[in-house]
Structure 1
Amino acid sequence: MVDIEQPKKKAAGVPAVLSSFKFGFREMGPVRTGKVFLKMNQDGGFDCPSCAWPDPDHKRKHAAEFCENGAKAVAWEATRKRVPRSFFAEHTIADLQRIPEYELGKLGRITEPMLLRAGADHYEPIGWDEAFHVVARHLRGLDTPDDAVFYTSGRTSNEAAFLYQLMVRAYGTNNLPDCSNMCHESSGTALTRVIGSGKGAVTLEMLEQAELIVVVGQNPGTNAPRMLSHLEIAKRNGAGIVSVNPLPEPGLINFKNPQRASGWIGKGTALADQHLQIRIGGDQALFLAVGHLLLEAEKAAPGTVVDKAFIEQHTSGFELYAKHNAELDWAAVELATGLTRAEIEEFTQRFIKSKATVICWAMGLTQHREAVATITEIVNVLLLQGNIGKPGAGPCPVRGHSNVQGDRSMGIWEKVPDAFLDRLDTEFAITSPREHGLDAAATVQRLREGSVRVFFAMGGNFAAATPDTAVVERGLRSCDLTVHVSTKLNRSHTVAGREALILPTLGRTDHDHTAAGPQSVTVEDSQGAVHLSTGNLIPPAAGLKSEVGIVCGLATVLVPDVGEIPWADFAEDYSLVRQRIGRVCDGYEDFEDRLRSGEGGFLLAHAARDRREFRTSDARAQFSANELTWLPTESGRLLLQTMRSHDQFNTTIYGLEDRYRGVHGTREVVFVNPLDLDDLGLVDGQVVDIVSEFNGEERRAVGFRLVSYPTARGCAAAYYPETNVLMSADDLAKGSNTPVAKGITIRLEPQS
C-alpha cells in the first residue's frame, strides 16, 4: 500500500532499533540475529558489508557497533532463505527479467554455480571446474584481452581484489573498472592533484576534535548512520556543524542516539547549527564565495584569518588563486547557490571563528560535471586557514561501499601507476600491460558499440548501477559471455550474454575454512584504517567458494603458466597473499606482521595528514583557480538529483520504505518543491513522466508520483536505480569521467 506522509525531523532512536531487529528476525530468526549482530564491527568479528564508515578503537566500541542500515545489509546477506536449483528450472531467463529488483533480492542465497548455455532459456547447475573452463575458453578465444572487461564492486576484500587484478594483468589487460569510477573518482582525482593523495586526510579522532564540521552533499542518517554518533561527540566537544544540501535530512536536524539513554527517552541532539539549502550544482560557487570572503576578512584584519605561515611553507599557487578570487560576481553566486549573501556570510564567519575545520562530502558532490573543480575549491578554503595536517582539520570524503578504498589500494584501477605495475611484475615474474584500460563510463560506451565480448563482474550490479540503462542491457546481451560473482540474485543476472554464469560466493558473515584452517580477510575503511574481518556463520552450502577461492580456481585454468604465482597456495592460506600485498601495495609494507601484532588492524600512513608532506608535482599543496560554473535552467525545467531511499544501499533494495522522507510502499516518486509544482501547474500526487534533456537527446522514466517536498527551489530528487535511465553515458564529470547523476536537466510531463 502506497502512503505518503510528512518527512521526519529526527533520525535513529527507538524506530531505528525496532527496524534493525525486524529485518534481522524476518531474515535470520532471533538466535541467528543475536549471533550476527554482536559480531558485526567487533574485534574477532566481521566488518559490516555495507558502508565504509570507520570503527572506533576497541576501547570505545559499543557492544552494538552497527546502525540500522548495516543491520539490514547483514540480514539481507545472512538470510536463511536459499535459491534452489528447482527455481532456475521453473523460471526462464525471460521470467527472471520480469521479477522486480526488490523481489530478486528477497529470494535468498545462491548455493551453486549456474550456467545459461548458448541458445538455452534456463540457467542450469554446473560444477566449479567446468564453470572455470567455460570462462577460460571464452577469454582465450578473444582476438585481444582488451575485448574483456573485469568489473569490481566495493565489497570485495583486499585479498580477493589483489588476486583479481593480478589474474587480470597476467591475462593481459588493464580493463578493471570499479564502482569507484561511478562514485568517488572525482574525490580521488581532485585530492591527488592538490594534496598528493586521493584519500581523505581525517581520522575518526580528528573528526571528533574539530571546531567546525561542514557536511556537504551527504545524508549520513541514511548513507553512513554511524557517522551521526561521532558528530554527536564532536558536538558535545563544542563543534559547530553546518549542513549543505538541497534537501533537509533528519539525521542532521536531530539525532537520537540509540546507544545512549537520551536516544530512547530524551529529545535527542540537535546537530546542524546552520542548514544551507543549496541549489543543485551550486557548491562550487558557494566555496568560491567563502574563499573570497576569507581573503577580504584577512585584508581587513591582517594576520587573523589566513594562515600565512602555512601558505608560505607548504603551498603553491596562492597568488594566482587570490588574484583570480579578488573579484566575485555576487549576482551569479546567488543564482548558482539559491542562497542569499547574508547566509553565505554567516557561513563564512563560522570558518573565521574556527581554528580546526573538517569538510565532509559524498556523492552529492562527486557526481556533478564540475565535481573535480568543486572539490578543489573546498581544498582551497581549507588551505587558506591551514586546515590540513593538524588535529580536528582536513578534507573528509565519506565513501560508500565497505572496501571501495581498499580495492583501489590493491590495484583495482584501470590506470594504476607504472610504479605499482613494476613492483607487481618483479614480485610475480609477469609483464603487466601498460596501456590504460576501460573505466566504467568507457565500458558503457564500448557496450553501446557492441565491442565487449566477455564481461566479468566480481560483485556489484553493473546493469542497474550504470547510466543509459537500455543501452547497457543491450550491450551485455550482445556479449559472448557474462559472469557474475554474487551472493544473491540481482538485475544483472537477468541481463545475460549469449552464455552466462552465476558464481555464488561466501559472504562477509560466512565462516571461511580451507585446508590450512580458518581464514580471515581484510578491508580498508574510508579513513585509511585496515582491519581483519572473520565470518562466523555456517555457509549456505558445503561447496561454496570464497572470492579468493574463485579467483584462484579460475586463474589456475586461465593463466596457469604465466609468471611465478602460487595460486593453489594462495587459495588455502590468505596470509601468504597478505605477505605479497605488503611487498607491492603502497602503505601495506609488512602487512601480515602489522596486522597480527596490533589489535586486528592498523592505520595507513598519509603524508599530508601525518607530516604535512604533499606528494604533488611540486611537493606542495596546490591552490586552484577555477572559473565560476553553475547550471542555469529554462522555464519549465528542473534540476534532478538521484539518491538512495532509507531502505537501500546502492542498488540493493531492502524494502519499499523511506521512513525519514515519509514515503511508504513505493519507489516511483519524484520530490519537488510545492512552489515549483504551482509554477508548473502540477499537484501533489499527480503521476508524471520524468524526461531528461542532454545534448538534444531525451530519455524518459515513466509513471512517477509527484511528492510535494521542501527541496531547494528549481530542484527535484528521485531514487536510483529507477532513474538511471535518465542519465547519459556521455554526460561525465570533467577530469574524473564519473557519470553525472546530479544536476540532470528534466521536465515533468503529466500522464494523460
Structure 2
Amino acid sequence: MSKDDLAGVSDYEGAAAGWGALKAVADAVRGQKAIVKETRGLLTMNQPHGFDCPGCAWPDPKHTSSFEFCENGAKAVSWEATAKRTTPEFFAAHPVSELLTWPDFDLENEGRLTHPMAYDQTTDRYLPISWDEALKRIGTALRALPNPDMAEFYTSGRASNEAAFLYQLFAREFGTNNFPDCSNMCHEATSVGLPESIGVGKGTVTLEDFDHCDAVFCIGHNPGTNHPRMLTTLREVSKRGAPIVVFNPLRERGLERFTSPQHPVEMLTLSSTPIASTYYLVKVGGDIAVLKGMMKTLVALDAKSLSEGGPGVLDREFIARHTTGFKDLLADLHATSWDAIEKASGLSRSDIEFAGNIYAKAERVIISYGMGITQHRHGTGNVQQIANLLMLRGNIGRQGAGISPLRGHSNVQGDRTVGITEVPNDALLDGLARVFGFEPPRRKGHNAIEAIEAIRDGRSKALVCLGGNLAVAMADQEVTFKAMRNLDLAVHIATKLNRTHLLLAKQSFILPCLGRTEIDTQATGPQSITVEDSMSMVHASRGGLKPASEHLKSEPAIIAAMALATLPNTRVGWAELVGDYGKIRDCIEAVFPEFAEFNARIQKPGGFRLYVAASEREWLTPTKKANFLVCPRIDEDPRVADRDVLTLATIRSHDQYNTTIYGLNDRYRGITGRRDVVFVNERDLASRGLKHGDLVDIAVVPGSKPGERVMRKLTAVAFHIAQGSVAAYYPEANVLVALDHHDVKSGTPSYKSIPVLLRASRG
C-alpha cells in the first residue's frame, strides 16, 4: 500500500546505508554546530589510537579503514561533541516544573552539561554548586542511611571498565550489592540463561568466525539501526554465497539489502548487496516455537538419514562427550505438536522445515540474536533454545560457528565482567577482600526491577546513577516516576540533561562528566580507558577533543571523590588510582585473573580477547558439560490465544539510541517528523474495521480501566509485520509494560511481548 497520502508516512525504497546514511551524518554534525571539531573526532573513532564509538558494541575489524564508523555512530558522537551547552544560565531561566513539560529530545538537545548543579526547592531550579560542597552533601546523605542496602547504584553500559570497577568497589566498600544495571533491561536473559547452558554469559564467536561460517541465522534484531557496522560483516557473508536466514516480526531494510558507504562501486552505481537469503516474519513471542520446530526437523532428518544407512544429522560425538539432558530435550520435542508450533509462531511447518534443512546442510553455523529474543516473559528460555539448536550439531566451540548475542551499549558486557552485578560470585568477592583488605557484602543485591520496587516501597532512599536515563528506560513509567520522587537522595553523573534528573528527591544533584571523545587528563597526564565489545575483545579508548567545560571531571574521578567523601575509613587508595588509570587496571588484573598483563595487552592495536571457556569447549557448569535445557512452553502469554488480542513489541527508530532521541525520523520504515504511530499488519487492521491512517488506542489486556495502561490517538501504519503482532516506539510505549511483566528467571522487562487490544480512538 502506498503511504504518500499520510503526513510523515511513506514507502522507503532505498537500501540500508548508502547516500542516505552519508546525508544523515552531515545533517547530524551540522545540527550540533560542531562541524570542524566533529569531523576531526570522527576520523579517530574506532582507530587503534583513537576513541571507541559509544554507539554500539559491535567489534572493530582487525584492519580498520580511515572511516570505520557508521551513521548512528556518527550521530552518537556528534550528540556528545556538540557545541551546544546546558549552563547555569539555562537552569536559571527554566524551573524544573517547566522542564518537565519539554519533550525528551529538547531536553538533551540543549547540549552538554557544564557545571555541577543542586536542586533548590525554594526556587524550583537547579543551581550551581561547587564540587567540594556537592560531594560533601552527597557523602553525608549516604552515611545517614540506616542501612547501606537503602542505596541503589545504577550503571549505564557506556561507562568504561575503569569507571565500572571503581563504582562497584565504592558501593561494596560502602556495604551493598545493589547494582541495577542497563543490562537488566536488555540482555540479562543472556547473562542468566547461557551460564546454565554453556557455562558463560557471553557469546562464543569472534568477528573472524563470520569469515568461516556456512550459514548465519539472525533472530530478533535490526542491525540497520541498532548495530549498523554488522551490515559490513553480513555483506561479506552474503557475497561469498553463505545463506543468511532471518526470523524477525518486521521487515527491516538493514536485513534486506545494504549499500556500503566504503565501497565506491556500490555507491556510484546506486547498487546494493542482498543480505537475507530467506526472511520469515515470525509472530512476536513465537521464537521458542520456531526453535523447537527447527529442532524437530533436525531430529526427523537424523532419523531418516540413519534409516537409509547414512551418518545421521546430529553430532552424536559432541552430544555424548560434551552435553547432558539430550533425552529430556528429545522427549520435549516429541511432546510438542506441529499444530501448536504453527499457531504460536505464525509460520507454516514447511517454512520452518525449510529453515531447518538450511541449518542441517551447513557445517558451521552462527546464530546472532538481539533483544527480540531476550525482552520476553520467557527470554531466558528463548536464549537456551538457541543454545540447544546449536549444540545438536556441535556448533559451539569451533571455528565459524557459535552463539552471538548482540549487545547494545558499547561496554555493557565489560561492566558486568569487572563486577557490576547484583549476584556476585565468591571469586569476585574473595578477590576484592584479598586486594583491598575489606570484607564485601555477600548477600544478593537488587536488579533494576527490584530497585524500583524497593524505592516504591520506601525500602531504598538513595539512588546514584552512573549515566543513563533510568526512569525513562524502565518499565511502568507511572509507577517508576512516582517512586523516584520518594527518594531522599538522587545523584546523576551525566553528560546531558534528561528526564530522570527532573524527578526530584529531597536532595538532587547533577554531576557533569567527560565524554568518550574528550581528553581525560589526570595527575600523570592524559589517560586511556578500556571497553569490552560483544565478542569479548578488550581495547583501549582515548579521547582527543577539548572538554566541553573546564568544570567537568571524569567518571573515575567523580566516583573516587564520592567514595572519599562517603567513606572516612576507606581501605582504598582512591587518589592514587585516579591519578593513573593504569593502576586501576592493575587492580582489575589482581581481582580477575583473565585480565593478566592487562596494561601490556591493551598496547596492541585492537586489544586482546578475554578467555571464553565455552569457545574452547570448556564448560564451567556444575555438570562440567553443556546442558540441553527444556522450556516447557511455546506460547509467550496465554492471553494471546484470544483472537482479539495482539502482541506488541517496543522498537527503536533509526534516529534513536536507547532512550536518546536524535530526531523524529525513522528513515528505513518511512516515518518522517513523528513518533506517534503504531505498525500493524493490514489484515489485522481490516479484521477490526480499521484502515491505514486511522487514529487508534492501544490498551493492555485484560481490558484496561479508563486512563490506565492505554496509549491514545496513535496513527495506524499498515506495515510488513507478522499477523497478530504490532509495534510502537520505545520508550513511549513503556507505559504499557507493567513492572511485574518480566522474565521471572532474569528480571528482564517484557518490552517485546505485551498483549494488547487495538481499537479506534475514542476521541
TM-score clears 0.5: yes
Preserved contact between residue 155 and residue 404 of structure 1 (Cα < 8 Å): yes
Deviation, structure 1 residue 666: 0.8
Task: Write out per-residue CA displacement over residues 455-503 of structure 1, whole angstroms, 9 at most, x where no aligned residue.
Answer: 1100000010001101111111111111111001111111111221000
The correspondence for 2:254, drawn from 210, 234, 251, is: 251
Write the distance in 1 (CA, Å) between the matches of 2:623 and 2:191. 18
**1:242 alignment partner in structure 2:** 245
Partner secondary structure for residue 23 of structure 1: helix
| In the alignment, structure 1 residue 612 sits paired with structure 2 residue 617 | yes
C-alpha distance in structure 2 between counterparts of 1:156 and 1:478, whole Å: 27
| One-letter code aligned to 2:602 | L
Which residue number corresponds to residue 751 of structure 1?
A: 762
Shift of 1:350: 0.3
Q: Matches of 1:683 and 1:695 in 2, distance apart?
A: 22
The answer as to 2:712 corresponding to 1:709 is no
Match of 1:503?
A: 511
Distance 2:754 2:398 in 1: 38
CA distance in 1, matches of 2:266, 2:743: 40
Contact (CA 8 Å) 1:196, 1:614: kept in 2 or not?
Answer: yes
Aligned twin of 1:262: 265
Q: Paired residue for 2:222?
A: 219
Distance 2:475 2:563 in 1: 31
CA offsets, 1:35-70, max 9 Å, x none? 01101111110000111110011xx21111011000
Partner of 2:39: 34
**Corresponding residue number in structure 1 for 2:78:** 75
| Residue 584 of structure 2: aligned partner | 577
Among candidates 708, 723, 735, match of residue 733 of structure 2: 723
CA distance in 2 between counterparts of 1:285 and 1:726 reads 25
Q: 1:588 aligns with which of 587, 591, 595?
A: 595
- Whichever residue aligns with residue 29 of structure 1, its letter is A
Alpha-carbon shift at residue 197 of structure 1 (Å): 0.2
Matched, 1:44 2:49: yes
After TM superposition, the structure 1 stretch with the greater mean CA deviation from structure 2, 554-563 or 429-438, is 554-563
Between 140-149 and 598-607, the greater mean CA deviation after superposition: 598-607
Determine the C-alpha separation between the residues in 2 that align with 1:477 and 1:168: 22
Residue 123, structure 1, aligned to residue 133, structure 2: no
C-alpha contact (below 8 Å) 1:40/1:46 kept by paired residues: yes
Q: CA RMSD in A?
A: 1.4
Partner of 1:25: 30
Residue in 1 aligned with 2:294? 290
Q: Indicate if the aligned counterparts of 1:150 and 1:168 stay in contact, CA closer than 8 A.
A: yes
Amino acid at match of 1:517: G
User: For residue 97 of structure 2, what is the aligned residue in structure 1?
Assistant: 94
Q: 1:66 aligns with which of 66, 69, 78?
A: 69
Q: Secondary structure at the match of 2:709?
A: strand
Amino acid in structure 2 at the alignment position of 1:82: R
Does residue 350 (structure 1) correspond to residue 358 (structure 2)? The answer is yes
| Counterparts of 1:513 and 1:713, CA distance in 2 | 55
Residues 28, 78 of structure 1: 8 Å contact kept:
no
Corresponding residue of 2:558: 550
Match of 1:451, SS state, is: coil
Give how far 1:261 is off. 1.9
Mapped partners of 2:12, 2:264: distance in 1: 24
- Residues 1:522 and 2:530 are matched in the alignment: yes
Q: Is the aligned partner of 1:566 residue 2:573?
A: yes
**Alignment partner of 1:166 out of 163, 166, 169:** 169
Q: Distance in 2 between matches of 1:721 and 1:494?
A: 17
* Cα-to-partner distance string for 1:642-662 (whole Å, 9 max, x where unaligned): 010000000000000000000
Q: Secondary structure at the match of 1:723?
A: helix
Which secondary structure state, in structure 2, belongs to the residue aligned with residue 636 of structure 1? coil
**8 Å Cα contact 1:409-1:586 kept in structure 2:** no
- Aligned partners of 1:165 and 1:411 also within 8 Å: yes
CA distance in structure 1 between the aligned counterparts of 2:634 and 2:683, rounded to whole angstroms: 25
Q: CA separation of 1:134/1:8 partners in 2, compared to 1, >3 Å: closer, same or farther? A: farther
Q: How does 1:76-475 map to 2 (within 5 A)?
A: 76-264=79-267, 265-302=269-306, 303-475=311-483
By how many angstroms is 1:327 displaced? 4.1
Aligned in 2, Cα 1:324/1:746: closer, same or farther, shift over 3 Å? closer
Corresponding letter in the other structure for 1:135 = I
Counterpart for residue 690 of structure 1: 698
DSSP 3-state at the match of 1:681: coil
CA distance in 1 between partners of 2:59 and 2:385 (Å): 26
Distance in structure 1 (CA, Å) of the matches to 2:294 and 2:693: 39
Please tell me the residue identity of whatever aligns with 1:148.
A
Deviations 1:214-271 (A, max 9, x none): 0000000000000000011122233110111010100111111111023312421111
Q: Contact between 1:293 and 1:348, CA under 8 Å: does it hold in 2?
A: yes
Gaps of 5+ in 1: none
Paired letter, 2:237: A
TM-score, with length taken from structure 1: 0.98
Q: Distance in 1 between matches of 2:131 and 2:757?
A: 50
The aligned counterpart of 2:3 is none
Aligned residue for 1:731, secondary structure, equals: coil
Q: Name the CA distance, whole Å, in 2 between partners of 1:701 and 1:48.
A: 35
* Matched-pair contact (CA < 8 Å) for 1:2–1:666: no
Contact in 2 for aligned 1:321/1:625 (Cα 8 Å): yes
Deviation at 1:681, TM superposition (A): 1.3
Letter in 2 for 1:300: K
Aligned-partner Cα distance in 1 for 2:573–2:123: 37
1:666 to 671, 674, 697: 674
Contact kept in structure 2, 1:256 and 1:262, CA below 8 Å: no
1:622 corresponds in structure 2 to 627
Deviation at 1:388, TM superposition (A): 0.7
Determine which of 709, 715, 721 is the counterpart of 1:699: 709
Offset of 1:33 from its aligned partner?
Answer: 2.5
Q: 1:341 to 1:601 in 2, by over 3 A?
A: same
Structural mapping, 1:476-495, within 5 Å: 476-495=484-503
Q: Is the 8 A contact 1:118 1:499 kept in 2?
A: no
Q: Distance in 1 between matches of 2:300 and 2:464?
A: 54
- Which residue identity is paired with 1:510? E
**What's the secondary structure of 1:716's corresponding residue?**
strand
8 Å Cα contact 1:511-1:518 kept in structure 2: yes
Q: For residues 635-694 of structure 1, give each alpha carbon's deviation from its aligned partner in whole angstroms, at most 9, with x where no partner exists.
A: 332110001000000000000000000011111111111111111112222222221126
SS in 1 for 2:431: helix
Q: 2:645, 2:701 within 8 Å by CA — same for their partners in 1?
A: no
Greater CA deviation, 380-389 or 3-12? 3-12
Note the alpha carbon deviations across 1:677-735, whole angstroms, 9 max, x for none. Answer: 11111222222222112698851223311111121101100001101111011111131
Counterpart-to-counterpart distance in 2, 1:128 and 1:310: 59
Q: Which amino acid aligns with 2:293?
A: A
Whether the aligned pair in 2 keeps the contact of 1:164 and 1:551 (CA below 8 Å) is yes
* Further displaced range: 45-54 or 694-703: 694-703
Does structure 2 conserve the Cα–Cα contact (< 8 Å) formed by 1:633 and 1:745? no
Do the aligned partners of residues 577 and 496 (structure 1) sit closer, same or farther apart at CA in structure 2, a change above 3 Å counting? same
How many residue pairs match? The answer is 747
Contact persistence 1:367–1:741 (CA under 8 A): yes
The amino acid that maps onto 2:151 is A
CA contact (8 A) 1:252 1:272 kept: yes
Please give the alpha-carbon distance, in whole angstroms, between the structure 1 residues aligned to 2:188 and 2:73.
Answer: 24
* Range with bigger deviation, 678-687 or 405-414: 678-687
